[in-house]
């Protein structure tokens, strides 16, 4: 589940960054992930 989204400047480009609440983990364990990585690894 995506809790938040933001845009982060990385090497001169703006990239989407999402805060992911992982299944079976508490919200406190949520991590920021690059949207492009999530799409690549999870074929979303």
> pLDDT per residue over 1-17, tens digit each?
999 999 999 899 999 99
Provide the domain count of the chain: 1
Task: Report pTM.
Answer: 0.84
Are the C-beta atoms of residues 15 and 36 closer than 8 Å to each other?
Answer: yes
- Residue 25 binned pLDDT confidence (cut-offs 50, 70, 90): very high
pLDDT digits (tens, 9 = 90+) for 29-41: 999 999 999 999 9
Are the C-beta atoms of residues 20 and 3 closer than 8 Å to each other?
Answer: yes
- CA dist 11 → 4, 24, 31, 42 (Å): 22, 34, 21, 24
- pLDDT for res 44: 75
Domain of 37? 2-42
């Amino acid at each position: 589940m995506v809790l938040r989204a933001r845009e982060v400047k990385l090497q001169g480009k703006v990239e989407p960054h999402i805060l992911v609440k992982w299944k079976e983990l508490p919200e406190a364990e949520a991590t920021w992930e690059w949207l492009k990585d999530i799409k690549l690894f999870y074929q979303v």
